[in-house]
Structure 1
Amino acid sequence: MGAEEGQMKHESRQLETSSKLTFKLDVFEGPLDLLLHLIKQNKMDIYDIPMVEITSQYIEYLHRMRVLSLDIAGEYLVMAATLINIKSKMLLPQRPIIVEPEQQEDPRAELVQQLLTHQCYQVVSEQLDELAHLRAKHYTRDQEDIPPEIQADHLHGHGDAEKMQQALVRLFNKRRFRKAAFRRVSKEKYTLKEEVDRLKKQLQKAEEPINFEQLFEGQFELEHVVTTFLALLELMKRGSAAVVQTEVLGPIWVRGVA
């Protein structure tokens, strides 16, 4: 009988020891994170926190961490002191001062505001984490090398793409183009292919280089000017046209290349 009683006591001690280690401790990023967890777990109203209950649970959680020999950061202890302070203020009898209910100061107000702010950060953090996981499922293709025909520099002399852009801006500043009072989606009035053919013939017929601005004479619509400019760039890319600028901000001359 004595042996059986001793065995029962041994099994009881084992059960008691194992039961102390069955609870699971989540990882929290700070005392506010732990408080939000306790509030959600107990389905409490964050705007009307029962301080007695939440303080007891919070301190109990810190005791569990000590049982497992886990280091408790100082901020957790500071929060525990804050909870006890708020709890004591709410338990102390208040002086009978006639004050409107909405004017009474709630000792929990500052804590509630901190919890709401932390909750916002949590939501945004979860959303960003979800977007990061979605982005991780995509693979970005490496940039393709520029084709050799594009790499070739067809801007001879002192001309380059930046100077061509500056010349177009000066043209816009000198002339006013008609702008439609309203726009209607319709078939293109000027096509790049037609302008390329027209401009190529014009450069081939010219015995001398043509001034850049002369290419746009008689054009009063912005779409026409832009299409002609794109046609010129296309001819330069193909090597069928070349530009020369002999002085800074000076006129740009365009000539055809056979």
Structure 2
Amino acid sequence: MTVNDKEQLLASSTKLTFKVDAFEGPLDLLLHLIKQNKMDIYDIPMVEITSQYIEYLHEMRVLSLDIAGEYLVMAATLINIKSKMLLPQRPVVVEPEREEDPRTELVQQLLTHQCFQVVSEELGKLAAKRAEHYTREQEDAPLDVQQEYLNGHVSPQKLQQALVQVLLKKQLHKPKVQHVHKEKYTLKEAVTRLTKRLRTANQPLNFENLFDDQNGPEYFVTTFLALLELMKRGAATATQMKDLGPIWVRGVV
């Protein structure tokens, strides 16, 4: 081994190696430097933080790493704030509580970014905890429920859901300005009207067809209550042969 080879080997062995962490942006890097040096985020020493920030960018250049433009913009911002704090201020009479700190906007950005970091970490922990659980497949419905479904029986809850769908289709969910007036429809009249309609029908009626487009929500609700009353008395039945299918209403003699 020649003398030149020994010198090159010694130089390579004593060469400094920098470990550059991955940061999501300049604010992430600034927060890292503040925490690492145990600085007060509300009273950042701009001379020190600017020096360390630029030194970190220099290390990235030495390692031939591409530096995003936002990092350079932040460097210029730090230098600008640093210069404002170092330059002598003009003797202007200003109330102490109204004296503007050039670091205020930067501190606010750092605090906001820190909040997002905390939330991100908590969501990550929740996601990791959820990943430890195994979701069991949905079990089949109980036999009595299956039998009830096979018979086409419709519960009042399903009827209520169907009524909501009817209201949405007819766009009656939009708020309207109305005046308080005497009731146009009574439950007794609605029961009589619906009973007559079911008796005269030669076939089951579609649930949606029970509601006339020309009438308002009061008519819809009264008719719906009348149907529930007839079902309670055993004078009407509602069937649905497939899930999310049409509901058919039939009168019982």
- Confirm or deny a common fold (TM above 0.5): yes
Cα distance change of structure 1 residues 155 and 9 upon mapping to structure 2, 3 Å threshold = closer
Unpaired runs of 5+ in structure 1?
A: 176-210, 216-241
SS in 1 for 2:39: coil
Who is 1:160 aligned against? 154
Task: Map 1:5-154 onto structure 2 (within 5 A).
Answer: 9-17=7-15, 19=16, 21=17, 23-152=18-147, 153=149
Question: With structure 1 as the length reference, what TM-score do the two structures score?
Answer: 0.60
The answer to which structure, 1 or 2, has the higher relative contact order (CA under 8 A, 6+ apart) is 1
Distance 2:122 2:7 in 1: 52
Q: Which has the larger radius of gyration?
A: 1
Cα distance change of structure 1 residues 29 and 154 upon mapping to structure 2, 3 Å threshold = closer
Offset at residue 16 of structure 1 (A): 3.2
Q: Show CA shifts across 1:107-140 (max 9, x none).
A: 0000000000000000000000000000000000
Cα distance change of structure 1 residues 249 and 57 upon mapping to structure 2, 3 Å threshold = same
Cα distance change of structure 1 residues 7 and 148 upon mapping to structure 2, 3 Å threshold = same
Distance 1:103 1:142 in 2: 63
Task: Map 1:161-200 onto structure 2 (within 5 A).
Answer: 161-162=155-156, 165=159
Unpaired runs of 5+ in structure 2?
A: 164-185, 189-229, 240-246
Q: In the alignment, residue 11 of structure 2 is paired with which amino acid?
A: R
Question: With structure 2 as the length reference, what TM-score do the two structures score?
Answer: 0.61
Contact 2:231–2:237 at 8 Å: present in 1 too?
A: no
Contact 1:55–1:80 at 8 Å: present in 2 too?
A: yes
In angstroms, what is the RMSD of aligned CA positions? 3.5
Q: Percent identity?
A: 63
Give the paired residue count: 180
